[in-house]
Structure 1
Amino acid sequence: MRLNRLRRLSTRVAHVTSPIYYPNAKPHLGHLYSNLLCDVTHKWKTLNKTQSLFTTGTDEHGFKIQNASEKNGYKDPKLFVNTLYKEFVLLNEKGKINYTRFIRTTDEDHIESVKKLWELCWNNGFIYKGEHVGWYSISDETFYPESKVIKDPKSPDKYINTESYNEVSYHSEINYFFKLTAFRERLIEYINNNPAFIYPESKKDQILNELKNSNNIQDLSVSRPATRLHWGITVPNDPDQKIYVWFDALCNYITSIGGIDKLKNDELATDLLHQPANKDCTVHPSKTWWINTTHVIGKDIMKFHAIYWPSFLMAAGLPLNKQIIIHSHWLCNGVKMSKSLGNVVDPIEMIDYYGADTLRWFLLENSQLEEDGNFQEEKLYEAREMFVSKWGNLINRCCGKKFNISRAVSDITSKQNPEKYIKGQFLNDVDIVRQIDSIFEKLNKLPQIMDDKLQKYDTSSLLREIWGILFDANTLMQHSAPWKMTPTQQDCIIFICTETTRILSILCQPIIHSFCNKFLDKLEISKDRRSIDYIKFASDKSYGLNSNLSQKGVPIERVPKRQL
């Protein structure tokens, strides 16, 4: 009876996942970007009172880890990953990424989930043993069909695959196989019937084209001989085989919400969260979380998430997650980043100099799901300048000694219709009324626009909307010249400008939490009035008491261009 009651509770829940990353080298800008998209989504949901989970982590098994640990002089790969996973934790801390669980595939509960997933697929007849002959890429941890293998144009004695262009070599070995071919038609049908399952649409079409070409879909090797791969999860009841790294890694998403058993039996997901504010999230069954799970991934791993993973779930008799969001990669000054070119951007270095919020905003403003982003440090510097000159400076001007924010707030919020009252003070100035109307309209529409655009991960367009409102407020301040007005008119202009920055600062907390709170601190907005309940115009009736008397400096300071 208790479980039935809990199932009737609100289903306003969301679970967003980043990929889990190989800790065989330090994290790069792409890792931060994937996690940033998840973090903003998670924080936006939480701000809007949706119960939310965000999981990320490290993929710590497989040949790449085994080989990297040996090259670095580690006899035990676990000691190697114990050192490197901390680099990813550090990047999240520096980037103000607030996940609810950081999962490692060496975690005991994850190992148990992987074994349960294997047993379900095995018991349902979708795993069998056989000989595997084919082209294998250690970098990609996968086999490629003959149709996707070519000679390396840079080294004719080597071969590469046409998907990732990483080197492949010919192998013959005894493995377990997953009957991927059994799910080709089922998956095509599911994607067609659920067009939002893969987004954006161009990536959905790409996956469908891959599935419709039967030559591309072959039964998948899901184990490796323990003699060749010793660093992995042992196949249940066969100590001579280790589980294929992708079968292992993809299961992390279910482990993070309680594991296979809880999902299969629809049990409550408990002990998942580490953030006190989200403790009430634990009241929902694991299945509720799972069917509201969105995977955010890079385009290089979409086949594993959009073909292999749904097939594993179908084979195990488990429901599919809600959606897969696929984003593009990052270039540096128009060129693919590589160690040999020396153009790999260190995100921690950028954060330490320009600040986490500056880098977060820059990445979101200069990226689109379907196009590779282009990192340019000059633009990163300009982003910081914009915060200072447009957002920070507008607040600073309102806090000038010639104005009185507290008086303006008190007088205008006491009126029955503050918007009508304000416009009534400028009936003889059509231009000012037009500008005021435009700001009111944009502020009223912004919460829904933000929700719509964040649902589509259209961050670049969203941030342009936000800048547009800020530019309008700056223009109003400059054009109306409130320092020349009567106190009543002056208060109206100052109130519109402070309300613009107040509302934007509340709404943008999921994007630039530190900057927004500095802006709100400058206006002396109470800590308990920085929630979604206070985003309507004139909804906070008491702030700015000492803002025009305060000796506090500017909310954000300029930084000089970094000397390269």
Structure 2
Amino acid sequence: MFRSTVITSRFYSQVSHITTPIYYPNAKPHLGHLYSSLMSDVFHRWQLLQGNESLFTTGTDEHGLKIQLASHKNGYKTPKEFVDRLYEDFIQVDKAFGIQYTRFIRTTDPDHTENVSKLWKLCHENGYIYKGEHKGWYSVSDETFYPESKVIKDSSSPGKYLNTETNNEVVYHSENNYFFRLSQFRNKLITYIKEHPSFIYPETKKTQILNELQNNPLQDLSISRPEFRLKWGISVPGDESQKIYVWFDALCNYLTSIGGVDAILDNKSNAKLLHKTSEIQMPREWWVNTTHVIGKDIIKFHTIYWPSFLMAAGLPLPRQVVVHSHWICNGTKMSKSLGNVVDPLLMRNCYGSDAVRWFLLENSQLEEDGDFQEDKLFHLTELFASKWGNLINRCCGSKFNLHRAVQFYAAEKNPLKIHSNDTLQKDMDSLLGELEKFPDFMSEKIANFQVASALRQAWSIINEANAFMQNSKPWTRQKTEQDAIIYTCMEASRILAITCQPVIPELANKFLDRIDVMKKNRSASFAKVNMDSNYGIGSNNKGRKVPIQRVSKRHT
């Protein structure tokens, strides 16, 4: 049953732009990459289902010392040749799981390189960039410096030092480079976050960042590296001897993907964006309706560094940064040495992309690490077949006539009644009441990135419909009551399938195909009882294929 809730939709505008982090392609895509993309994809698809305009950006972060070193180690002539191969792995995973992005951005794209330089120039012209000497502990793996307070000796390797944030190795060195006056933004950030309480979401992450800002002074940030140390990067404007810090470069992708620095400042753009859409007008409106979806390991870069860069450039901030947790496997952190790293493509090939999509969303919360368990994924595929698929198969049996029921109750607007049994009437009314409320409930949960509770409610409705079907025994009843039962159960399947299209796009449409719902009647506006009076034609004909087949559990 639904709890009493106040729907506080975050869709303030008819336009929205959602982004994943751009992924560092030095390793194959893993479950965490897919999860960020999937959360963004569902948000984006839900907007489109509502008839709103939406952009969805993902991509790869292709510069930096790690790429430079790895390309040489792997025998490539240039880092560009290396990343030209690597980024395709991310395209492959997105395609396999139906990630419906509108632009896949690469930091080697010409328009991005141009916008990084523009962002730098604005920060420099406004007095927030200066040149100086930097001494400190640098992590090649993290591509960032760490303060002395976060450096410890590696007890297992004499002479080696680690940082306490990521446990990656750090080395001490000094170099001349450019600095960003991050120290000047501490109070500005505190004020902004307090005045915009939904800017960092969920609440625990907002509290975490506020505590960090209030208890620790910000140090100015080194935002370039000498060219002799880092060759694979974007040159500092007017100084070829320095390359721009990879995080300054990478974060700028969000501006590039929405029209660029100049377009957002002027709020107009004559250039077509590299999105799978028509030309985007009013880029500033799109930008201030941007939501970044990120993992908890990069929260500092997106909630401290990024808004500071934007403030320094005189640019508005995006609407929100949504921070999610990570994935473990069977209660243990994934590790190559343990052999428990989950390959998303292997899971997809065994159980189907939609089953993996639903599983990840139903078994996760923003504030807790998700636990991937293959047994549960297999059980989910069984539920799709035995619960949802079987409900449709039973109601589409040759003993019934779904289209006749749809015509009588939806087209002619006759009341749904079971005169012979008050208990069954109450059960039917209860099921119809749940269906009426579900689309708004789903909208609220997607808006707040709490899809798991919506999917659990979907299962509750499916179970309720199956129980109603079994208890009412429509095959024993006269035509009018039989039709009322079949119609109610198929309204449950139809409405749930429409609203769950953003989560299981292929499977939901197979369910809708099986009950002959027309393509034009699958938008959110049709996700209401009695809204479609034209489906069910031929649904009870013999020989129709079942919408879902059972799969076998993978042998490990």
Same fold (TM over 0.5): yes
Q: Which deviates the most, 54-63 or 457-466?
A: 457-466
Q: Which amino acid aligns with 1:254?
A: L
Aligned to 1:294: 291
Percent of paired sites with the same residue: 59
Could you say which residue in structure 2 is the equivalent of 1:350? 347
Structure 2 match to 1:363: 360
1:500 maps to which residue?
492
Q: Which residue of 2 aligns with 1:246?
A: 247
Range with greater deviation from structure 2 (19-28 or 430-439): 430-439
Matched, 1:422 2:416: yes
Deviation at 1:213, TM superposition (A): 2.3
Which shows bigger deviation, 535-544 or 469-478?
535-544
3-state SS, counterpart of residue 458 of structure 2: helix
What are the within-5 Å matches in structure 2 for residues 192-211 of structure 1?
192-211=194-213
d(CA) in 1 for partners of 2:211, 2:346: 41
Return the alpha-carbon distance in structure 2 between the equivalents of residues 312 and 492 of structure 1. 61
Give me the whole-angstrom Cα distance separating, in 2, the residues matched to 1:273 and 1:549: 46
Q: SS of 1:549's equivalent? A: coil
Look up the SS of the partner of 1:130 in the other structure. Answer: strand
Could you tell me how far 1:152 is from its partner in structure 2? 2.2
Equivalent residue number for residue 333 of structure 1: 330
* Alpha-carbon separation, structure 2, partners of 1:50 and 1:152: 53
- Answering whether residue 239 of structure 2 is matched by residue 235 of structure 1, we say no
**1:388 paired residue number:** 385
Query: Does structure 2 conserve the Cα–Cα contact (< 8 Å) formed by 1:269 and 1:286?
Result: no
Give 1:432's aligned residue.
424
Equivalent residue in structure 2 for 1:139, among 134, 138, 141? 141
- Counterpart mapping for 1:398-477 below 5 A: 398-416=395-413, 418=414, 421-423=415-417, 425-426=418-419, 428-477=420-469
Secondary structure of the corresponding residue to residue 462 of structure 2: helix
CA distance in 2, matches of 1:528, 1:21: 36
Preserved CA contact (<8 Å) 2:138 2:172:
yes
TM superposition shift of 1:267: 1.0
Equivalent residue number for residue 470 of structure 2? 478
TM-score (norm 1): 0.95
**Which stretch of the first structure deviates more once superposed, 319-328 or 157-166?**
157-166
> Which letter does structure 1 place at the counterpart of 2:461?
I
- Equivalent residue, structure 2, for 1:510: 502
Question: Secondary structure at the residue paired with 1:155?
Answer: coil
Partner secondary structure for residue 476 of structure 1: helix
Q: Which residue of 2 aligns with 1:125?
A: 127
SS at match of 1:174: strand
1:75 maps to 2:58: no
Aligned residues: 545
- Name the structure 2 match of 1:377: 374
Query: Counterparts of 2:250 and 2:46 in 1: how far apart (Å)?
Result: 27
CA distance in 2, matches of 1:154, 1:381: 40
* Superposed displacement of residue 266, structure 1: 1.2
Q: Unaligned 5+ residue runs, structure 2? A: 1-11
Contact kept in structure 2, 1:17 and 1:296, CA below 8 Å? yes
Whether 1:170 and 2:164 are equivalent positions in the alignment is no
What amino acid sits opposite 1:396 in the alignment? N
Describe the superposition over 1:93-114 as per-residue Cα deviations: whole angstroms up to 9, x where unpaired: 0010010000000000000000
Q: CA RMSD in A?
A: 1.3
Q: Supply the distance in 1 between the matched residues of 2:384 and 2:298 (Cα, whole angstroms).
A: 35
SS at 1:422's partner residue? coil
Q: What's 1:267 paired with? A: 268
Cα distance in 1 for residues equivalent to 2:500 and 2:401: 25
Residues of 2 paired with 1:329 and 1:413: CA distance?
A: 45
- For 2:7, the equivalent position in structure 1 comes to none
**Matching residue's letter, 1:316:** A
Question: Does structure 2 retain, via aligned residues, the 8 Å contact 1:55–1:100?
Answer: yes
SS at match of 1:30: helix
Following superposition, the deviation at residue 159 of structure 1 comes to: 1.4
Following superposition, the deviation at residue 139 of structure 1 comes to 1.1
Residue 414 of structure 1, CA deviation: 3.4
CA contact (8 A) 2:97 2:353 kept: yes
SS where residue 389 of structure 2 aligns? helix
Deviation digits for residues 452-493 of structure 1 (CA, Å, limit 9, x no counterpart):
111111011111111111111011001111111111110000
Aligned to 1:5: none
Conserved 8 A contact 2:264-2:284 = yes
Shift of 1:337: 0.9
Tell me by how many angstroms 1:163 deviates: 1.3
Which letter maps to 2:396? C
Structure 1, 31-40 or 148-157: larger mean CA deviation: 148-157
Matched to 1:422, the amino acid is: L
Aligned partner of 1:23 among 22, 25, 28: 25
Kindly provide the CA deviation profile for residues 412-450 of structure 1, in whole angstroms up to 9, marking residues without a partner as x: 12334x4xx113x33x42321221122111111111111
Equivalent of residue 300 in structure 2, options 303, 322, 328? 303
Relative distance call for 1:309 and 1:376 in structure 2 (3 A) is same
Alpha-carbon distance, 1:156 to partner: 4.1
Q: How has the CA–CA distance of structure 1 residues 225 and 354 changed in structure 2, closer, same or farther, with 3 Å as cutoff?
A: same
Equivalence for 1:6? none
The 2-side partners of 1:466 and 1:172 are apart by: 57
Give the CA deviation at 1:11. Answer: 4.4
Shifted more, 264-273 versus 31-40: the winner is: 264-273
Q: Secondary structure at the match of 2:21?
A: strand
* C-alpha deviation, 1:545, in angstroms: 1.5
What secondary structure is seen at the aligned counterpart in 2 of 1:205? helix
Tell me the secondary structure at the aligned position of residue 325 of structure 1: strand
Aligned equivalents of 2:513, 2:212: Cα separation in 1:
53
Which runs of 4 or more aligned residues in structure 1 lie more than 4 Å from their structure 2 counterparts after TM superposition? none
Q: CA deviation at 1:169?
A: 1.1
1:100, 1:272 within 8 Å by CA — same for their partners in 2?
A: no
- Shift of residue 535 of structure 1? 1.2
Q: Which amino acid aligns with 2:315?
A: L
The superposition leaves residues 374-420 of structure 1 with CA deviations (integer Å, 9 ceiling, x where unpaired) of 1111111111111101111100000111111011111112334x4xx
Unaligned runs of 5+ in 1: 1-9
| Aligned AA (1:529) | N
Q: Deviations over 1:251-299 (max 9, x none)?
A: 0001001111111111137523644xx53xx453110000000000000
Q: What is the DSSP-based 3-state SS (H/G/I as helix, E as strand, rest coil) of the residue aligned with 2:159? A: strand
